Amino acid sequence: MSASKKSFRPIHGGAGQLSLDLGLPPPCERNDNLFFCLLAGHDDAARTTALARSVCLRHGVGGQLQAASRLHVSLYSLGKHAGLPPRLLDIAKRAGEAIRAQPFELTFDRFVSFRSRGRPPLVLLCDGGKAELVDLQHKLGTAIGTTGLNIALHSGFEPHCTLLYGYRAVPATRLEQPVTWQVRELALVHSLVGQGIYLHPGRWPLLG
């Protein structure tokens, strides 16, 4: 391999997620996070935030809530980088443009704290729309693979929306009133790590 080319080697992270070793600087210098996700619409985000406040008060879960504009369900992580590699961004955009899927509803009907070495994330889990969501993730993985990027889908994908990182864990609990999102588009997000800023290099409507 010539010095002018860098290899894209997958490094598996959490369930259903992927990071890439691009021969870039150490992780402490990688402040540009790129991932595919489903973003909550304005009204859906407002309802989800209200629910999160209620759950935290009822269960005594301290912590800062995720901003409504950043509520999402992750589909694929493309890694943290020290500046986004142009080739990777191009690959991601081409994959997003190739997706063909119908819009659907995603219903969160329970919450739980995931296990963590640090503060446990409090997340919403879904059943309604989960099959469509998993199918969308599979299509996305296939689309990324056809661009020439060598990836492997990590098993055990558990779709979820992180509400906050709490100071105490809570067990799995059913919601009295489930929250439903109207999923109408796929988003590619460039997160500026530590700044709480989401940029959107790509958004594609689900038109079937």
pLDDT, position 22: 54
pLDDT, position 157: 82
Over 90: is that where the pLDDT of 12 sits? no
Residue 152 sits at φ, ψ, to 5 deg, of -140, 130
Q: Single out the residue of 151, 139, 150 nearest to residue 75, CA to CA.
A: 139
pLDDT, position 152: 59
- Tell me the average pLDDT of the chain: 87
| Contact call for residues 119 and 166 (beta carbons, < 8 A) | yes
Convert the pLDDT of each residue in 141-168 to its tens digit. 899 888 877 665 656 789 999 999 999 9
| Contact call for residues 23 and 11 (beta carbons, < 8 A) | no
pLDDT, position 11: 40
- Return d(Cα 92, Cα 162) in angstroms, integer: 23
| Crossing angle between the packed helical segments 130-146 and 86-98, to the nearest 10 degrees | 130
Domains and CATH numbers, the chain: 9-205 (3.90.1140.10)
pLDDT, position 23: 56
pLDDT, position 6: 44
Give the rounded percent of residues in the chain with a pLDDT score beyond 90.
73
pLDDT, position 186: 98
Over 50: is that where the pLDDT of 108 sits? yes
Give whole-number Cα distances, 154 to 94, 198, 206, in Å: 22, 25, 24
Mean pLDDT within 53-65: 94
- Return d(Cα 98, Cα 187) in angstroms, integer: 13
More confident residue, 50 or 24: 50
Spatial neighbors of 48 by CB under 8 A, at least 6 apart, are 40, 68, 71, 108, 124, 161, 163, 179, 181
